[in-house]
Amino acid sequence: MGLVPHARDLPRYTWLWGTEPEIQTDAPAWAIQFTGKVTLRGGWAMDPVCVVIGDTPLMFNPKEYSYNGKVVTPPNPSTPTSTLPPLAP
């Protein structure tokens, strides 16, 4: 978990594609990168990413996930090149 100064930079820190319209802003974003299979409402996701920009929580499923019994395998997201910033100095 970490605070990224500009939401549009999130793909540098976590599994995202960089084309998500929700992150195309210079607003700061909290990001929580989960690891493994996480149960979500309506299904599950592998390595999902929770992002909060302002008061808006978002959940991204950049890897394989299921919804209403159907398994979806999206194209591979970009590989993060940095780790999320620490919570405190």
pTM: 0.88
The answer to whether the CB of 65 falls within 8 A of the CB of 48 is yes
Query: What's the pLDDT tens digit per position in 71-83?
Result: 999 998 889 999 9
pLDDT of 17 over the 80 cut: yes
Residue 89's pLDDT is 63
Query: What's the pLDDT tens digit per position in 19-45?
Result: 999 999 999 999 999 999 999 988 999
Write the DSSP string, 20-47.
-GGG-SSS-EEEEE--SEEEETTEEEES
